[in-house]
Structure 1
Amino acid sequence: MLFAVICNDKPGSLQLRMDTRPDHLTFLEKLNADGALALAGPFLDSEGKPNGSLVVIDAPDQKAAELFAAQDPYAKAGLFASVEIRPWNWTFNKPETA
């Protein structure tokens, strides 16, 4: 089942995001290699600077999705003001149907 992990950064935390980004990307690359990453990317503010994340993962259940989110280096670094994890149905433009 797919889960959307919707994260909002704490205000004024761009430097923390940039400092932690290499570890975050390594984390996502492993998830991708394992076939569990559907898509990922940052939200942007009005100046085009990252201020949050959207990561869609394939996980067996809500608890597994929550464990994934807790292991993200951004989460471990205290970057996020909030994290919402919701089941998600990819309806349009799925790669296997494109």
Structure 2
Amino acid sequence: MSVYAVTYVYVTDPDRLAEVRPEHREFLRGLHESGTLRVSGPLPATPDGEPGGALLVVEAEDATGALELLAADPMRREGLVAHRAAREFVPVIGGFAA
């Protein structure tokens, strides 16, 4: 297994994002408890207009597997993820380092 950094860019719909967030977090808690999600958290919108999103660090066989792991995320299911991408992450210092 390798480690992948997955980024989400959310649509601009604060009410819907807030409505779905509890189910989204419950989904992610399940992945964390199973050991496939190492950490996740929001990437807030920036003052210059970049939309908010999220960073999720997961273990998977490849980038496709990392995205498949998150395919059932309620944020994605509800059409609130405008873009997502996975890229291998190789931690060398800190809590994720091997």
TM-score (norm 2): 0.84
**Which residue identity is paired with 1:18?**
A
Alignment match, 1:54: 55
| 1:5–1:69 contact (8 Å) kept in structure 2 | no
- TM-fit CA distance, 1:42: 0.3
Structure with more of its chain in helix, by fraction: 1
Gaps of 5+ in 1: none
| Deviation per residue, 1:41-98 (Å, 9 max, x gap) | 0001246xx820100101122232121222111111111111111111122212578x
- The number of residues matched between the two structures is 94
What is the DSSP-based 3-state SS (H/G/I as helix, E as strand, rest coil) of the residue aligned with 1:94? coil
What is the distance in 1 between the residues matched to 2:28 and 2:13? 20
1:41 is aligned to 41
Match of 1:3, SS? strand
Match of 2:31 in 1: 31
CA distance in 2, matches of 1:96, 1:52: 25
Provide the C-alpha distance between the structure 1 equivalents of 2:44 and 2:67, rounded to a whole number of angstroms: 23
Q: Could you say what the CA RMSD is over the residues aligned between the two structures, in angstroms?
A: 1.9
Query: Separation in 1 of the partners of 2:16 and 2:6?
Result: 19
**Structure 2 unpaired stretches of 5+:** none
Maintained 8 Å contact 1:6/1:85: yes
Q: Which residue identity is paired with 1:32?
A: H
Q: Percent identity?
A: 28
- Relative to 1, partners in 2 of residues 1:95 and 1:81: Cα closer, same or farther, differing over 3 Å? closer
Give the AA of the match of 2:4.
Answer: F
Is the contact between residue 9 and residue 81 of structure 1 (CA under 8 Å) also seen in structure 2? yes
Equivalent residue number for residue 17 of structure 1: 17
Q: Could you report, residue by residue, the CA deviation over 1:26-51 in whole angstroms, capped at 9, with x for unpaired residues? A: 1111111111111100001246xx82
Paired with 1:83 and 1:39, the residues of 2 have a C-alpha distance of: 16
- Matched AA of 1:28: L
